[in-house]
Structure 1
Amino acid sequence: MKRSLLIIVLLFTLILSACSRGVGLDRLDKPIGLTVYKNTISFGAIYNADKYIFNANGINIETEEPFLELTEEGIYNVRVKAVGEGYLDSLFSDMVKVTVKYLSVPTDIELDGNEIIYSGDPDADSFVIEIDGVEYNSETDDLPKLEPGTYMVRIKAVSSVYIDSDYSELVELKYRYLNPPTLINVVNGVLTYLKDPNASYHIIEINGVEYDTRTQIVPLFTPGEYAIRIKSMSDTYIDSEFSEMLNIIIDENDLIQTSHSYTYSLFSHFDLPLFTYYMRSVNQFEFYRLIEDEETEEIKKEAVDTKYLYILENTVYLKSEYLNILKSIQKMDKQSVFTFELQTNAGQHTITINLSDDEKPYIYSDKNIKTNFHDDIVFGFDLFGAEFVSVSGNGIKDTDYVFEGGILTIKVEYIIRTFQENSARDNIILTYRFEGKIQNQDGTSKSITYLGFISIKK
């Protein structure tokens, strides 16, 4: 009984001691008026407080000053209480919601005409654009009109709610006048000119009619009189003036002048097509081998017997018999490149023939061909028993080409469409693929893939 009474007395004493600890202590004021600016929560200092305990999403963070800066992105529910020695902790403040977000750095800074454009964070209130060290706010300042010149530009995103981005890297922007095209001429019925490398497209005026090279095809030049001028255009630079007017007369007797580079394998046996005339009839020809004198470096013409050439369907062919003669020269003189001049009643053509010792599918015609935007383009192959598989690259589809009898035809509709989709493009590069078999030493065979490239130039 005495033991029970003793325990009761001790418990009562402990309770009284615990209750007496806060007796007579004042409670610190509750923090009020919490304000949120971007990622910082602040309020007026509490009198007699030594520190503050912020509770953010259930995690306590202790500070000595009446503010807290959150550094990790996220959404936070925050409240705070004041703590001071000799005082009861204050009550927690009311809850505030804080969204912490870092704005992304602007990208894709470039010129559109004389206007600076860029991609920016959609949550930004505005952007600070620094041009040659001078800052302009996109909402409150008038950006200067750029005069032709070079500018160093960087941009940052700013906001009253979110954390400002860093400045972008400095970008050099050149705003300048384009030069009009030069060396304008009509060659083989096709308009040629030297363009400003910064031009995106051109306006071509022919006898008063304007053609936009992004969407329109310049017609072939048939015999007649033409007045031609061209101006350079761009979405980035200042358009040029029109070039000087070129007045030209195209005569029906004007000769076509071309250059070609062909390949012929030592293991091939076909007659090599040298040139095909699409708009003129050919009925006369002369063929010369061009030989450089080793001492004088002069080029001498050696006539090739016309028995080694013939015309079929307006195409001039070089017979395999003469190509076999070149093979003999190649073996004796170790010469593998031969240059010729073909002269016909319709044109003059410089032709280089490269002899190769490959016994695999190859393209014997030009690998790089310039389009006139009116005719299909044709490439010739010697297959050596391999099978054609496909042409790929630059969005070409099965319906855009035909392969038959060793001839690959790229349709002009595909060529026009592809160049119009990107007016700044200068060429289209395509990959062709063949599958064949080769014999192993043990008499078995294995499959092999052959790849090559062709180019269509504007």
Structure 2
Amino acid sequence: MRKLLIISILLLTLSACKTTEPFVFSDAYFNYSIHSDFDLVIQDLPESIEVTSLKVNNVDLDLSNVIHDKNGLKLKSSYIKSLSVGEYLYNVITAQGSFVLNLNVIDTSRPYMISKSTIESDFTSNHTFTFELFGGEIKSVSGNNIKTSDYSISGNQLTIKKGFIENAYSNNESMESLILGYTLEVGTHTVIGYIFISKKINT
């Protein structure tokens, strides 16, 4: 009995000594149409990290315009749709760090890419791009000999696999940017767009 008690105390002590990995903040860029109606997740921020200040173009923004729950930190759709078309720069400050958000408010009722179309890759992870499809679908992906096994489509998300990106650069060392095309369809409308993936240079 005493032995079990000692083991329990040791386990509790070890558990208390564990340090929680700090959250890594990352700057973000999103497109959002005034015809969309979803709350925009701007950071996968744990609920335990308090948001202390939010500024847009250096002006304080009331925190009632955001939702912070288990699904992350979100800008309310009603707030975004009240904005004029154009670009907005946000500084989000929390109890553990801060990040910058660039929001591009657009006016379109056709499918569009929500996430940034130009990214950098260090080949260590897959890259996922999110779309507003308005009930449509991601129809196709093309360019640089990409095959269906090099990417996956799940609902409104397109994921390009890291192995394909790395091989593309290995096969063409002088390439400055990997360019892929995509086609979105809804009803009789077709939208063609492009993704640009550059190689991240470690400094």
The TM-score, its normalising length taken from structure 2, stands at 0.76
Code of the residue aligned with 1:327 in structure 2: it is K
Q: What residue is the counterpart of 1:326 in the other structure?
A: 80
1:387 counterpart = 2:126: no
Alignment of 1:31-430 (within 5 A): 256=24, 258-276=26-44, 283-286=48-51, 287-291=53-57, 300-305=58-63, 308-312=66-70, 315-320=72-77, 324-330=78-84, 336-344=86-94, 347-430=97-180
CA deviation map 1:123-151 (0-9, x unaligned): xxxxxxxxxxxxxxxxxxxxxxxxxxxxx
Query: How many residues are paired up?
Result: 178
Seen in structure 2, the aligned counterparts of structure 1 residues 436 and 365 have a Cα distance that, compared at 3 Å, is: same
Seen in structure 2, the aligned counterparts of structure 1 residues 452 and 318 have a Cα distance that, compared at 3 Å, is: same
Give the aligned CA root-mean-square deviation in angstroms: 2.4
Seen in structure 2, the aligned counterparts of structure 1 residues 425 and 282 have a Cα distance that, compared at 3 Å, is: farther
Displacement of 1:401 in angstroms is 0.9
Displacement of 1:428 in angstroms is 1.2
Q: What residue is the counterpart of 1:194 in the other structure?
A: none
Q: What is the DSSP-based 3-state SS (H/G/I as helix, E as strand, rest coil) of the residue aligned with 1:415?
A: helix
Q: What is the DSSP-based 3-state SS (H/G/I as helix, E as strand, rest coil) of the residue aligned with 1:328?
A: coil
Asked which structure has the greater CA Rg, the reply is 1
Displacement of 1:318 in angstroms is 2.4
The TM-score, its normalising length taken from structure 1, stands at 0.36
Q: What is the DSSP-based 3-state SS (H/G/I as helix, E as strand, rest coil) of the residue aligned with 1:325?
A: helix
Seen in structure 2, the aligned counterparts of structure 1 residues 282 and 430 have a Cα distance that, compared at 3 Å, is: farther
Displacement of 1:256 in angstroms is 4.2
Contact 2:65 2:79 in 1 (8 A): no
Seen in structure 2, the aligned counterparts of structure 1 residues 428 and 303 have a Cα distance that, compared at 3 Å, is: same
Q: What is the DSSP-based 3-state SS (H/G/I as helix, E as strand, rest coil) of the residue aligned with 2:27?
A: strand
Code of the residue aligned with 1:316 in structure 2: it is L
Q: What is the DSSP-based 3-state SS (H/G/I as helix, E as strand, rest coil) of the residue aligned with 1:339?
A: strand
Unaligned runs of 5+ in 1: 1-251, 292-299, 438-446
1:451 counterpart = 2:201: no
Displacement of 1:344 in angstroms is 4.0
Contact 2:35 2:109 in 1 (8 A): yes
Contact 1:283 1:311 in 2 (8 A): no
Q: What is the DSSP-based 3-state SS (H/G/I as helix, E as strand, rest coil) of the residue aligned with 1:414?
A: helix
Q: Give the percent of matched residue pairs that are identical in Structure 1 and Structure 2.
A: 29
Unaligned runs of 5+ in 2: 1-20
Contact 1:256 1:346 in 2 (8 A): no
Q: What is the DSSP-based 3-state SS (H/G/I as helix, E as strand, rest coil) of the residue aligned with 2:170?
A: helix
Displacement of 1:276 in angstroms is 3.7
CA deviation map 1:397-425 (0-9, x unaligned): 11111111201111111112112212232
Work out which structure has the larger RCO, using CA pairs closer than 8 Å and 6 or more positions apart in sequence.
2
Code of the residue aligned with 1:288 in structure 2: it is L
